[in-house]
Structure 1
Amino acid sequence: MKSDNFTVQVKDNGENLELFFSGQLTINYIQKVKEAVGEQVNFSRDIAVRIDNPDNLDITFLQLLQSMKATTEKNKRKFSVSADLPNELDSLVSNAGFSDLLNSNPVNS
């Protein structure tokens, strides 16, 4: 799903689902991001999330990732997140206590 403010892409590579998030990953758009995830994601598969060049992100997006991780692991599947964040967003993630979530190992490793 692509809007003017954010993008959610899902690719099925056979072994797992890859989700790509970019743009404004904030409370203003979180409901639409959540709807896009709900429509496109099968949580009974291994999931690899890639946060790619976000314009911004906030705690609501990190909480969505945490919820996705919990749902995936409840289904006994693997969940990973990789992100290259600018320093200010990296600091936000760290200060909010979500560093472990974004430093998880990729599914394919």
Structure 2
Amino acid sequence: MKESTNRTLITNPKNIICIGLNYADHIEETSLATHDFPEIFMKTSNALASHQDIVPIQDENLHYDYEGELVIVIGKAGKNICREQARDHILGYTIGNDVSARSLQFRGSQ
């Protein structure tokens, strides 16, 4: 099977918007309260690493954890988009490895 050459490289994304506590096993693991709305938080673009990059661990004494994440890349701006038109705004999908220092993460809600 021939690999597609139609690729879009995003080197400096404008926003990295994350959804936390979005599945039951993780909520149970963290013992955090749930809400009727998504837990939204942001990451800066310097939090990104490329394929096979090394993720620097700054403090070996902190408890680090990692999670595989579905990443949805938005390629078309919009506001108040109805469910039926949401896919028109998606550029593509990929996977991500979210690395967190749990002791720092649990100081606040995210």
TM range (shorter): under 0.3
Larger Rg over CA atoms: 2
